[in-house]
Structure 1
Amino acid sequence: MCNILHILRYSSVLCNILLKFSLFIYFMSQSSSVLQHVGTNIRSLRDEHSLSQQDLADRAGVSRRTIAALETGQVNISLAKLDAIAAVLGVDFRTIVSAPEHKEHALVNALAWQGEKEESKATFLASVPSRSQIELWTWSLAVGESYVAEADAEGWQELIYVLEGELTIQFTDSSRTIAAGSSFIFASSVTYTYINSGSQVLKFIRNVVY
């Protein structure tokens, strides 16, 4: 039987916070730099709201020079300040850091913060809308073990991030294998099974969004 280590339940007021920060996990090698998109998004949204760089800076509590540098991809801003800019522009954090083609349900996979050293970084992996609550789980499955899940209610979703091993999710007509360091989003309103078909203990993070 699977070993469920921890279950944390968050109320609706924490949904946005959890979506932003529970997914800032270890850097994935295929990540694209957030600075590729932030500048374009800020310029576009600022134009939509008829705001000058100074107007946006004043409302977000940053300098005009910071806004100008962001729009040309020349500055690495703190997550809190970037969130404040997004709020002034009337969008969520995901929208400000994502490529323009990403829609509501998105594996974003964007490098959102880079420290002075290469090993220091934060990657925003994914985002989905939520109505009321999010559950954050850590799971482990021994080699050859599986867990059969009942279908959730319509509208429920899961965000998976594999820490160690390899997770196979079996659906009725298909399956998906997720390697360590990779993410996956799926609608959980169907029957599915978690399977550890690898050669080592499987560990993964599971976010249930509804």
Structure 2
Amino acid sequence: MVMRIRAKWGALLELREIDGISDQENVQYTAHLAVFLCFVQYIAHIFFATYSMTQSSTVLQHVGTNIRSLRDEQGLSQQDLADQAGVSRRTIAALETGLVNISLAKLDAIAVVLGVDFRTIVSAPELKEQALVNVLAWQGDKEESKATLLASVPSRSQVELWTWSLAVGKSYIAEADAEGWQELIYVLEGELTIQFTDSTKIIAAGSSFSFASSVTYTYINSGNQVLKFIRNVVY
């Protein structure tokens, strides 16, 4: 299975590296990218059925080392990075020592200041060139509530593939992303409620939904079973 994924990803890279590709070839690349993401989503569904996270210490396990290394490379102090990313210096210090589970939006803001993408911040250094990363990036106060970044591939800028789960009665409040960011949701099990400022969207298992994520929104599990869904982020 791993060899099949690598083969598909290698073919995509070969297409992307051709200089001066025509519009038809660009459409072909986009189509291949869509097929690749669907294939990885299938793998993600299997992953959800078999994977169990046993240690909460694996949450953001590489973030501290990566932030400290990137900050040192750019000659930034903790205060410099905090000011530019819009967080407190204590947050940066806690991240670098692995003592805080920060919101994904704030972590992405730190990545922007450091000049890297989200995947680079949360992944092990040896995985920085790979599409499949499989990193637990958020953990709620219940073991069943978590978000795992499975893959991140280049599009015009970036596409991320996530698995999410929320325990019964739990929610995740998301901060607004930058203009132009989009999310594509597919619910595997349970029922996902997305609460916006002036509306609510309920997505049943087997259904999908897409929206511009440059607004504040909340994922809610108001059902009676653990909620599991796929989240694609395009920016």
Give the TM-score normalised by the residue count of structure 1. 0.50
- Name the larger-Rg structure: 1
User: Higher strand share goes to which structure?
Assistant: 1
More helix per residue: 2
TM-score normalized with structure 2 length: 0.45
